[in-house]
Structure 1
Amino acid sequence: MRVSSPSTRLFTRLPLAGNYPAAVALALLALSPYLILTTATSLAEPQIMGGIGATQYELQLSSGMSNAAYAFGAVAAADLVQRFARRRIYLICECGFVLSSVLALSAQNIGMFAAGLVLQGLFTGMLLVAALPPLIIGHPINKLQTTAAVVSLGLFGMVAFGPLVGGLVGSLGGWRPLFAGVGTLALIGLFIGSLTFEGNDPPDRRARFDWTAIPLAFGTTALPFFGVSWLTRGDFSDPQFYVPVFVGLLCGVFLVGGQYRKAKPLMPVRPISNTLPVVGTLNAMLVGACFTTLLELIEVYLTRMAGYSPLRIGALVTPQILGVLIAALLFRRLMSTRWTPYLALCGTVSVAIGAAVLLAASTSSASVTVPIASFFLGFGAGAGVTPGLFLAGFSVPAAQIGPTFALVELLRSEAAFLIGPVLLHFALVQGLADGFHQAVGITLGITVIGILALVTLYALGGARPEAPDLVSWHAGTDTGYHSPALLAAVRGR
């Protein structure tokens, strides 16, 4: 995106301004460090707990609040980019992430570690909204398909890579070097970004703080994530679990409902309340939640029942990286065609296949069943979440893709972190020998029911497969999809 005002003309002379490979590196380095940590720290838990003298509950709470901060940070950034230049937000957040990494790696107690981890999540959520939209709409349209593949790799490729990293740390030690490594990656991203990220005139410097969205977004994330973290030391019957979860979900209902009714909302709920974006968003939530749940169940089962080392576990789930890569390349080819909704559905089906394979897993067969299941889970995550994200993103004007991504990521994170820990606790209460397969069966049931519901919703909307109008969308003159209203086929619309 080019700017010409005197206040920001300086940024057009940056050495790497307009350089597409540099912009790709900028976006990946903004998101990857934290996303690696989200799945790496679980296998390195004993190392971290021993290093800072923390309990499992304290570590789980730190991780939960960090995930909450990530989801909240995306919404907060959607508000800030209205009034401040994206470059300024990007530089502040990258600096903040580097300092947060230093705080975490130098932690001597759980307080310092938790503060570092939560801040890492907050800054990464903000970077999602600050760094991704310029990459998507700030370069020629012929780069858009490659950008879509990059987004897929950035969101789930690094998540899939995390267990291998965590396995190495958990078996060989060195959790502090892990945080030093992600901090170094962020520092490299800061350097590249300072040479690449162009300035812009904020769309509305006089925009007011959205008192109906930001506090509700905080409650929507912080409260439920605290509630499910409590399960590490409590039970479903504890008010510390169900009260925060209920109140947090209520905040989410008021947040989405309030944004739908507002004339000038922070997040475009009304434009994405039609068939295609709703199906895409629900698909991303379903796939993200089931993928995260199954990955957590695999790691705990292999650790406690099979007695596998963290490194062996990380290696067994590594095929998910191949699945994500194939999904990203496939999405690159199909994004501009009418097949994107079908690819998203294939992703959900792939997760169901992965869950079905895990039903046959045992301590003696895990070396065969887990890699096969992991491949299907990785493909499902890449094919189900990112296409769903773009089904919503192409349903709004290009200028609103940042707030749209913020909303979808908020909902996806909410679903993932609520379902995963709940089913994991259920499996532990039942006893892992049987509870693992019961929890996997429940996840499979959720996935199958979700598939049927999404197909029904798509059919009742009367939607017909069509290629998005990317030229008009990229030019900012129209939306990419013109989706029918929800249930249009039965409501006669």
Structure 2
Amino acid sequence: MPSRSPSPNLFTRLPLAGSYPAAVTLALLALSPYLILTTATALMEPQIMRSIDATAYELQLSSGMSNAAYAFGAVACADLVQRVARRRVYLVCECGFVLSTVLALSAQNIGMYATGVVLQGLFTGMLLVAALPPLIIGHPIDKLQTTAAVVSLGLFGMVAFGPLVGGLVGSLGGWRPLFAGIGTLALIGLVVGSLTFEGNAPPDRRAKFDWTAIPLALGTTALPFFGVSWLTRGHFSDPEFYVPVVVGLACGVFLVGGQYRKERPLMPVRPISNTLPVVGTLNAMLVGACFTTLLELIEVYYIREAAFSPVRIGALVTPQILGVLIAALLFRQLMSTRWTPYLALCGSVSVAIGAAILLAASTSNASATVPVAAFFLGFGAGAGVTPGLFLAGFSVPAAQIGPTFALVELLRSEAAFLIGPVLLHFALVQGLADGFHQAVGITLGLTVLGTLGLVTLYLLGGARPEAPDLVSWHAGTSTGYHSPALLAAVRKA
């Protein structure tokens, strides 16, 4: 994969350098293996627990810390690539992912397994920032729309594919062979990357380690994710739950606030504090969190209340893959037009429709309701998250898209992992027969109120639908969007 302006005098030309198909393959293989596992693991938990003699809490904590490592890894890589060539970061992280997968699949106890999956999350988060920006800005502008669709499929297409994979493994057995297959995909990605990813001169070898951002990012992710994992064995009233969550959220506030005030921040908070990027980021957080929550509720409800097999549940939610695919193709057509904010709005509306359908779901009508709801959820995830990501990305100079993606993914992951496990625990406490529908109703309410709030924020900003200036953005001479300030219409009144 080429850098933005590779120097032929400094770097040896690689066999697949400049090949767009190879660059797309590289990016998908960097992200897909881990993202498949994030939604596949839940349906094969009993097998893993028996195999390594682990408790439900230990497995949930492993998953939570893995998700935390993913979000933290994106921020850490944004700092690292200032001083280290992206090719080197990519190759080290891909090697690390392969080795951590081997550690997890060969685990004989929870310690080995947890170490493996946490490292998988860390390296994938770093790969997000190392691999995606060169794909987006390192190829001709006529590839940008296809790249946007690829990003959508890479982020949510594989997440949507995970339950089907997990259901097959959960019913038929073979979680270790699945991990072996995931490791093989990563190994192929390493080979493709070594033949494709060109070297680059780091932008600032003398850049200092950001002692304000990195520790706060660690606290922002690790503490709340530990706290909500505690709910698997505890209660809302336990200090092990609310103390880490409160302290972690405080770290997040200080992180964002500090980056906003800093003269040379690691992440461009100030440039994306205007109407369009704020609405896009909040929409990605809202849609991602509600999608994840509803998917978890479906899986737990039909496993525990209806005693459905994992493969049946995986098949029931498979239509979400079609929804994500349609959303990706639609975004490909609309990305360069003024309709991107409307597509993001359609994403949140679609998730709300999916939640409303689930209110009518029961153990007796699952075959009729769940697939339809899953389609709307998949479309909502694809239409709501990736357009929101690009609304923020096009609001900063092209060179800053990596740190911008890191910040948005940090916030999106935070929202998803806080809301999902909390509402799942609420449903279990209430008793799944009633708690499932109550939790779905709460999620629907959050989606509707959040969507109305974002529409209001958009209108109060005085934003007008406009096509992004992708030529200037891609050339590095200007931002794609020139968004009005937050509440600009109110301030002028």
Under TM normalisation by the shorter chain, which class is it? over 0.9
Please state whether the residue corresponding to 1:232 is helix, strand or coil.
coil
Which residue identity is paired with 1:4?
S
Q: Is the 8 A contact 1:331 1:387 kept in 2?
A: yes
The one-letter amino acid paired with 1:487 is L
1:10-409 aligned within 5 A: 10=12, 13-409=13-409
* Contact 2:288–2:385 (Cα < 8 Å) also in 1: yes
Give a deviation string over 1:93-131, Cα, whole Å, max 9, x none: 000000000000000000000000000000000000000
| 8 A Cα contact 2:167 2:312, kept in partner | yes
The amino acid across from 1:2 in the alignment is S
Aligned counterpart for 1:4 among listed residues 2, 7, 12: 7
Asked if 1:488 corresponds to 2:484, the answer is no
Distance 1:232 1:154 in 2: 30
Distance, in Å, in 2 between the alignment partners of 1:458 and 1:109 is 50
Aligned residue runs from structure 1 range 407-422, under 5 A: 407-422=407-422
Q: What are the equivalent positions in structure 2 for 1:428-439 lying under 5 Å apart?
A: 428-439=428-439
For the residue of structure 2 that corresponds to 1:44, the secondary structure is helix
2:444 match: 444
Q: Is there any run of 5+ residues in structure 2 with no aligned partner, and where? A: none
Q: Secondary structure at the match of 2:206?
A: coil
Distance 2:492 2:183 in 1: 55
**Residue 359 of structure 1, CA deviation:** 0.1
Alignment-derived partner of residue 427 in structure 2 = 427
CA distances 1:303-355 after superposition (whole Å, capped 9, x unpaired)? 01111000000000000000000000000000000000000000000000000
SS for the counterpart of 2:43 is coil
Instruction: Give the letter for the 1:469 counterpart.
Output: D
1:412-445 Cα shifts (integer Å, max 9, x gaps): 0000000000000000000000000000000000
* Cα distance in 2, alignment partners of residues 94 and 33 from structure 1: 11
Residue 492 of structure 1 and its aligned partner are, at CA, apart by: 1.1
Aligned-residue offset at 1:5: 6.6
SS of match in other structure, 1:346: helix
Q: Which runs of 4 or more aligned residues in structure 1 lie more than 2 Å from their structure 2 counterparts after TM superposition? A: none
Q: Who is 2:454 aligned against?
A: 454
RMSD: 0.6
Q: Distance in 2 between matches of 1:37 and 1:196?
A: 26
Matches of 1:243 and 1:9 in 2, distance apart?
Answer: 50
Shift of 1:3: 1.6
TM-score (norm 1): 0.99
Check the 8 A contact 2:14/2:198 in 1, yes or no: yes
Whole-angstrom CA distance in 2 between matches of 1:277 and 1:69: 25
| Shift in Å, 1:367 | 1.0
Cα drift, residue 283 of structure 1: 0.1
CA distance in 1, matches of 2:8, 2:226: 45
Residue 466 in structure 1 maps to residue 466 in structure 2: yes
Q: Measure, in 1, the Cα distance between the counterparts of 2:250 and 2:442.
A: 25
Q: 2:166 corresponds to which letter in structure 1? A: G
Cα distance in 1 for partners of 2:8, 2:243 equals 51
Query: Do 1:228 and 1:241's aligned partners in 2 also have CA atoms closer than 8 Å?
Result: yes
Amino acid at match of 1:222: A
Q: 2-side partners of 1:296 and 1:237: how far apart?
A: 23
Distance 1:404 1:5 in 2: 29
Q: Is the 8 A contact 2:284 2:386 kept in 1?
A: yes
Gaps spanning 5+ residues in structure 1: where? none
Q: Is the 8 A contact 1:349 1:380 kept in 2?
A: yes
Per the alignment, in what secondary structure is the counterpart of residue 9 of structure 1? coil
**Equivalent-residue separation in structure 2 for 1:24 and 1:373 (angstroms):** 30
Instruction: Indicate conservation of the 8 Å contact 1:2/1:198, yes or no.
Output: no
Instruction: Give a deviation string over 1:360-392, Cα, whole Å, max 9, x none.
Output: 000000111000000000000000000000000
Name the TM-score, length of structure 2 as normaliser. 0.99
Deviation sequence 1:244-303 (CA, Å, 0-9, x none): 000000000000000000000000000000000000000000000000000000000010
Counterparts of 1:390 and 1:415 in 2: how far apart (Å)?
18
Which whole-Å deviations, capped at 9, do the CAs of 1:436-474 have from their partners, x for residues lacking one? 000000000000000100000000000000000000000
Q: Using the alignment, how far apart are the partners of 2:246 and 2:367 within structure 1?
A: 40
Q: CA–CA distance in 2 between the matches of 1:20 and 1:373? A: 35
How far did residue 2 of structure 1 move?
3.5
Structure 2 residue matching 1:73: 3-state secondary structure? helix
Amino acid of the structure 1 residue aligned with 2:275? T
C-alpha separation in 2, matches of 1:69 and 1:291: 21
Contact map agreement 1:339 1:465 (CA 8 A) in 2: yes
Q: Report the Cα distance in structure 1 between the residues aligned to 2:306 and 2:463, rounded to whole angstroms.
A: 47
Letter in 1 for 2:103: L
| SS of residue matched to 1:208 | coil
2 CA distance for matches of 1:198 and 1:354?
A: 43
Q: Is contact 2:11–2:198 with CA below 8 Å preserved after alignment?
A: no
C-alpha distance in 1 between matches for 2:35 and 2:8: 36
